[in-house]
Chain A
């Protein structure tokens, strides 16, 4: 596929690895923010091919993973008790709430559907005027415009039976929170390419200046990742810290302005609880008051119980880059993708789940370290 396969060229990958090896002279710890990048790094075997000096730690960039349990419980309650058609992306349906997942609720008879796009949910609402259709709108900045467009479209079509549960998280405030932690080990970042496709690069300059860390906006294919790592390492070795854009083929400096307009039309910034971490100030998006009719959390009254995270889970330390999945005594035993104890094991893009699925290709050394 054009613009995809050429970024998986093994000869070019080997040349990048060689160049990284030549450049690096001392240990560096770099975090890739996005779970999609973690997935590629592990799946393509890049982690064990990087020189030993480079430690990649895996960030909290899996919106499904960090969706708070109480929102999942709310979606399950709506699906089971309120006779709605509950839809979301496939990943979200597998994530367990405090008692069960949406898929299990579906098995028990609730009308739960996996959709590719929120715009399909709007169509579903059009086709089923007698039913309420709720879309569990999870995502980073990448997905926010599509979810916003669904609300705008529903309004323009005059639909009164469509609403969303907004579970939106924002990347730059999370990076701030990670760097503000006095225990942080992160010396450079690969920023999430598709988030920047929407928002542009401007939010990262203040972080670079304040925390003196290199940030390189990076894509998702092996060559993208290796190039991003090389760009970070070159800066680190020279003692520099700059914002650079490896993924310029799709990321423009100012981002996508119509997409940003769609987001600010429908959503406003709010404080947000990240599952496995904590409340991060100004790190989420809520539906604006003027679109309250499309906000399922306001439209339906859902009695909520207190929910607790499992205390033996080290998700917080993993998502801050302080621990690796294999450092956890529960990994692969008490905690698996079908019975996750915490956030990074719940979706295929969580770092623990990625390690679990690709355990066989992981570095022997890393297993020994654990």
Chain B
């Protein structure tokens, strides 16, 4: 119900449909007309979080990156991060490696 997905603003039209700020947002390959009234600072090429046709937040690039690096920042997973198998892997290999680690953990 509270499902919201990130999308990239392609185009903004001010004051369309009477008064609302509207725009076109690309959501996973689909471009939809989205209400931008609640994100007055959003610009073209920004990523916004879209819920039931309304953008409710601008995605913060820096914060997005830092949450992915949370573990490394904690500095407690050195051996996993330094393992050479981690580097230069294709996506499929990463998935395989992940599956192997996970199945080991739950077995």
Q: How far is the CA of A3 from the CA of B25 in the complex (A)?
A: 15
Given A197-B56, A249-B59, A256-B56, answer yes or no on A143-B98 (Cβ-Cβ < 8 Å): no
Q: Which residues of B contact A21 (CB under 8 A)?
A: 105
A62 within 8 A of B: yes
Q: Which residues of B contact A246 (CB under 8 A)?
A: 67
Q: Is the interface of A mostly helix, strand, loop or mixed?
A: helix
The reply to whether A197 and B4 form a contact with Cβ atoms under 8 Å apart is: yes
A370 within 8 A of B: no
The reply to whether B5 and A4 form a contact with Cβ atoms under 8 Å apart is: yes
Central interface residue in A16, A91, A153, A249, by most chain B CB within 10 Å: A249
The reply to whether A34 and B2 form a contact with Cβ atoms under 8 Å apart is: yes
Contact among B4, B71, B95, B106 for A194, CB-based, below 8 A: B4
Q: Is the interface of B mostly helix, strand, loop or mixed?
A: mixed
**Which residues 128-157 of A sit at the B interface, judged by CB distance below 8 A?**
138-140, 142-143, 145-146, 149, 153, 156-157
Contact among B28, B70, B105 for A14, CB-based, below 8 A: B105
Interface residues on chain B, number (Cβ under 8 Å): 50
**Which residues 1-34 of A sit at the B interface, judged by CB distance below 8 A?**
1-4, 6-7, 9-19, 21-22, 34
**Which residues 1-34 of B sit at the A interface, judged by CB distance below 8 A?**
1-6, 8, 17-20, 28
Range class of the A interface residue count: 35 or more
The reply to whether A146 and B54 form a contact with Cβ atoms under 8 Å apart is: yes
A195 within 8 A of B: yes
The reply to whether B80 and A15 form a contact with Cβ atoms under 8 Å apart is: yes
**Which residues 235-294 of A sit at the B interface, judged by CB distance below 8 A?**
246-252, 256, 258-259, 262
**Which residues 195-242 of A sit at the B interface, judged by CB distance below 8 A?**
195, 197-198, 220, 223-224, 227
A101 within 8 A of B: no
Q: How far is the CA of A22 from the CA of B18 in the complex (A)?
A: 57
Given A18-B77, A18-B80, answer yes or no on A10-B98 (Cβ-Cβ < 8 Å): yes
B40 within 8 A of A: yes
Central interface residue in A1, A36, A195, by most chain B CB within 10 Å: A1
Q: How far is the CA of A224 from the CA of B70 in the complex (A)?
A: 11
A116 within 8 A of B: yes
Task: Select the stretch in A69-77, A117-125, A323-331, A336-344 that faces chain B.
Answer: A117-125
Q: Which residues of B contact A89 (CB under 8 A)?
A: 1, 52
The 9 closest A-B pairs by CB, nearest first: A10-B98, A117-B53, A14-B101, A249-B64, A3-B6, A248-B63, A249-B63, A142-B2, A11-B98
Other CB < 8 Å A-B pairs besides A18-B77, A119-B35, 17 of them? A6-B68, A10-B94, A11-B98, A14-B98, A118-B53, A139-B1, A140-B1, A142-B1, A142-B4, A145-B38, A145-B54, A156-B18, A227-B71, A246-B67, A248-B60, A258-B37, A259-B38
Interface residues, chain B, with chain A CB atoms under 8 Å away: 1-6, 8, 17-20, 28, 35, 37-40, 47, 49, 51-54, 56-61, 63-64, 66-68, 70-71, 74, 76-77, 80, 86, 94-95, 97-99, 101-102, 105-106
Provide a sorted-by-A list of 21 A–B residue pairs whose CB atoms are within 8 angstroms.
Answer: A15-B80, A17-B102, A19-B71, A19-B74, A49-B102, A62-B1, A64-B1, A119-B20, A119-B53, A140-B2, A145-B38, A146-B51, A146-B53, A149-B38, A153-B18, A197-B4, A197-B49, A197-B57, A223-B68, A250-B58, A262-B37
